Amino acid sequence: MLEDGTDVSAETSRRLSCDAGKVVMKHDSEGKILDVGRRTRTIPTAIRRALTARDEGCQFPGCGLKFCEAHHLKHWADGGETSLDNLVLLCRRHHRAVHEEGYQIEHASNGELRFLRPEGWEIPYVPPAPSLSEDPIVSISALLVEDDVTIDSTTGFPRWDGGWLDLNWAIQGYRPL
Ligand SMILES: [Zn+2]
Ligand SMILES: [Zn+2]
């Protein structure tokens, strides 16, 4: 339950408590409060700093967003440690995907992380999009010049002359591949 009384699902509360301030209240069997602990972070500042230095941004394939939450691979409520080995940075969107939408993250045998879709298919590694800090037109033009690509008014025209598909020729062309 959130502070304003809104009920949320168990997975949502796990997501919110993955990286949050925490005050532990102990209740007796009748629900009376026995003890209220000090407010602490679920992720101490030093570990958080080391995690940000290691991951730099969201680790979900292809994302790389800088503004992130820390995720416990094995949640602390299930006894998971708050150590670098058990933590990964995820943006809010991908943190939700992992807790509430069935995406999974696991350690591969080589120690790297594997990201799986809800059906269990692995999401392949995708490099984060390059950050275009300056004017994007200027940056993209510079990348094209670097790769020796010229774009002019005819770039979008197909080279096809409108003739019929020669299936035999096409198969002969593909067969060696
Ligand atoms: Zn989490
Ligand atoms: Zn992300």
Whether 4 is covered by a domain: the verdict is no
What lies within 8 Å, CB to CB, of 149 at 6+ separation is none
**According to the model, what pLDDT value does residue 92 have?**
95
- Please report which ligand is nearest the Cα atom of 126: 2
The count of structural domains within the chain is: 1
Closest CA to 87 of 97, 103, 76, 77: 76
CA of 26 from ligand 1 middle (Å) equals 23
Residue 17 has pLDDT above 80, yes or no: yes
CA of 104 from ligand 2 middle (Å) equals 14
Tell me if 143 sits within 8 A of 134, measured CB to CB: no
Whether 142 is covered by a domain: the verdict is no
Host domain of residue 74: 10-123
Whether 139 is covered by a domain: the verdict is no
Whether 72 is covered by a domain: the verdict is yes
Q: What is the pTM of this model?
A: 0.69
Whether 3 is covered by a domain: the verdict is no
CA of 32 from ligand 1 middle (Å) equals 30
**According to the model, what pLDDT value does residue 38 have?**
86
Whether 153 is covered by a domain: the verdict is no
What single DSSP character describes residue 3?
T
pLDDT, tens digit (0-9, with 9 covering 90-100), for 153-167? 888 888 888 888 889
Residue 12 neighbours by CB distance under 10 Å: 15
- Report residue 71 as tokens: 């995720």
What mean pLDDT, rounded, does the chain reach?
89
Residue 135 has pLDDT above 90, yes or no: no
Average pLDDT over residues 80-96: 94
Tell me if 57 sits within 8 A of 66, measured CB to CB: yes
Whether 71 is covered by a domain: the verdict is yes
What φ, ψ does residue 12 adopt, rounded to 5°? -65, -40
Whether 109 is covered by a domain: the verdict is yes
